[in-house]
Structure 1
Amino acid sequence: MTPARTSLSPTEQRHPATEDIDTVGTIEVLRRINREDHVAVDAVAEVLPRLADVVDLAAERFRRGGTVHYFGAGTSGRLGVLDASELMPTYNLPPGRVVGHIAGGSDALVRAVEDAEDSAAEGRRDAAGLGPDDVAIGLAASGSTPYVGGALEAARAAGAYTVLVSSNPGAPLAAGVDTDIVLRTGPEVVTGSTRLKAGTAQKLVLNGFSTALMIAVGRTFGNLMVSVVATNAKLRERTVRILQEATGVAEAEARILLERCDGDLKTAIVVALAAADPAPARHALARTDGSVRAALAELDGHGGAGS
């Protein structure tokens, strides 16, 4: 067995349990990959307290109009862009509030632009314009990607809060950020293939961070996706179901409520639960940054507590 080179990032070291993986049957290959997937889940569980602190800080800045930016190269960059892009349809988030940046630009989403990650200058350019109310999250399995380093350096110089998410306890970029989140995923099943455990752990961190952020800023009501915008027939039917779940009204009444509220789901929920007219419901939502629960409290909580 070849000894691990401990000077390398753990993601670049050989995994002793998979050195013979090309000699075993397919089911055993899949079992070994699956066992390592559990390592990724456990690694995320260990960092939840630090992640919670980042969510709370980001939510405070977000409420003041700040933005969140992800920076990464390769798999890490694609995961950041994916997370940011999915928030817009799911939570009706305006463009520019959570933004994913990938080394090499949009071309790198569908093909490898491997040398782009070596450009700290590109990272600095992509972080230009960030300010004190913004949050910059660097995603780099090795914790050493120059593109990510350049972006975080520029972001911190501009007063933004900076976070590094890596799988390397000795990440070179860690010293230059406000919060260092280390996912202890260890060596990969296939040496250096960080699209496996390291990528899975990053995806879980992003899922948790952005979902908790959206909850914190009132983009849900209970566990209901109340910020969804009904832009097609499927989504219009979903808003009817969500309104029924949130308020307990029958389907026919839900449809009438939505029509009275010009199709706006949050307004319809507040109207139903606070026994209010649409106009004061809209005003309460506007004053509370679109939070259904806060709008209900402002209207004196007339009606149920929600989901």
Structure 2
Amino acid sequence: MALPSTEQLHPDAARLSPGDLATSARALAEGQIKAAAAVRDAEDNIVRGAKAMAETMRAEGILHFVAAGSSGLMAAADAQELGGTFSIPPARLRIHMAGGLPTGVEMPGGAEDATEGLEQALDSLQAKDTVIAVSASGSTPYTVAAMNIARTKGATVISIANNGGSPLLLGADIPILLATPPELISGSTRMGAGTAQKIALNMLSSLMAVELGHVHGGMMVNLRADNDKLRGRAAGIVARIAEVDTETAQNALNVAHGDVKPAILIAAQDLSLAQADARLRTTNGVLTAALAKDQQLNNGRER
């Protein structure tokens, strides 16, 4: 039986040599670049997955990230960034990692074969939820079991795996195959496979945010400004989009209690907070539509 691609020996593996670290470094860099390129072939299903995640958010469902080992770290990193970047509430996110998220330097290796506790962890899963299941091999028992539980509950399953024809891809509603080459260090899927997984996860969550209107002109207009750096970024975003000075932008943010979208409408169109919030409600929180709505109203008055 042929080895899965993630376990095969890379043809350039011999380039890794303690006597020539420069050549080794070049080989590793080229391996990562080729792995990253594999994401291009998965773009269509990544878009499908992002739309499903956006639908879950609109329905007030929960995104469940499920994985083991280094794939679990990739999934957890993306999930943990969604609050600060796009203000996705913690109650709408869950991370299920085999053995639990590590608190020290050791990874829980044997836990990926164990499925105890998954039924309880996913007991509240609903049809409006989405499960993002990640496994380089596509056959990790913990992740496959979670997918099967999700299917019985009618939740949407997005799977990310690096081996074609694997159980995780065959059983998912939206399978994302990242056909990365074998690793330069055979089986070390924290490398090329992990890089491609991180790109795919970043794309899924970022495209979800675009679909939800949390991105405007390449700026994160739904960020949660909870430190000095982000407060400065928020003021810069308001100033740039509303085309006002920084002081005016900061005043608008103060009125909007730090919420960027209403602050932009307040600064750009001299609305009250209540008016800005009402405008955003009518456009499902999409800032582009809210700004265009004011232009439509002005055109109507001119007539």
TM-score normalised by length of structure 2: 0.91
Q: Which 10-residue stretch deviates more, 254-263 or 45-54? A: 254-263
Task: Please give the per-residue CA displacement for 1:151-180, whole angstroms capped at 9, x wherever unaligned.
Answer: 101011100011221110131333322222
Are 2:69 and 1:69 equivalent residues in the alignment?
no
CA contact (8 A) 1:122 1:147 kept: no
Contact 2:137–2:163, Cα closer than 8 Å, also in 1: yes
C-alpha distance in 2 between matches for 1:172 and 1:258? 49
Identify if the C-alpha distance between structure 1 residues 60 and 263 changes in structure 2 by more than 3 Å, giving closer, same or farther.
closer
- Partner secondary structure for residue 262 of structure 1: coil
What is the match of residue 190 of structure 2?
A: 195
- Provide the C-alpha distance between the structure 2 equivalents of 1:25 and 1:37, rounded to a whole number of angstroms: 19
Unaligned runs of 5+ in 1: 1-5
- Is the partner of 2:131 in helix, strand or coil? strand
2:219 counterpart SS class = coil
2:132 & 2:257 partners in 1: Cα distance? 38
Distance verdict in 2 for CA 1:128–1:301, change over 3 Å: farther
**TM-score scaled by length of structure 1:** 0.90
What amino acid is the match of 2:152? A
Matched, 1:245 2:240: yes
1:111 and 2:106 matched: yes
CA contact (8 A) 2:86 2:223 kept: yes
Say whether 1:84 aligns with 2:84: no
Equivalent residues of 2:84, 2:225 under 8 A apart: no
What residue is the counterpart of 2:145 in the other structure? Answer: 150
3-state SS of paired residue (1:263): coil
Equivalent in the alignment of 1:261: 256
Tell me which of the two structures has the higher relative contact order, counting C-alpha pairs closer than 8 angstroms and 6 or more residues apart. Answer: 2
**Alpha carbons 1:102, 1:108 under 8 Å: kept:** no
Residues 2-55 of structure 1: per-residue CA shift (max 9 Å, x gap): xxxx62211111112113523551111110011111111210011001111111
- Residue 160 of structure 1 aligns with which residue? 155
Corresponding residue of 2:28: 33
The answer on whether the counterparts of 1:128 and 1:155 sit within 8 Å (CA) in structure 2 is no
**Is residue 217–residue 291 contact of structure 1 (8 Å, CA) maintained in 2?**
yes
**Number of residue pairs matched by the alignment:** 298
Q: Secondary structure at the match of 1:105?
A: coil
Q: Secondary structure of 1:47's partner?
A: helix
Cα deviations by residue, 1:219-259 (Å, 9 ceiling, x for unpaired): 22221112223323332222211111111101222223223
Percent identity, please: 35
Greater shift in the superposed pair: 42-51 or 97-106? 97-106
Structure 1 counterpart of 2:206, one-letter code: T
For the 8 Å contact 2:56–2:63, the answer to whether it is kept is no
Cα distance in 2, alignment partners of residues 109 and 9 from structure 1: 31
Q: Which moved more, 1:14-23 or 1:31-40?
A: 14-23
Indicate the residue corresponding to 1:134 in structure 2. Answer: 129
Q: Unmatched 5+ residue regions in structure 2? A: 299-303
RMSD: 2.0
> Which residue identity lines up with residue 154 of structure 1 in the other structure?
I
2:11 to 16, 22, 41: 16
Residue 209 of structure 2: which of 205, 214, 235 is its match? Answer: 214
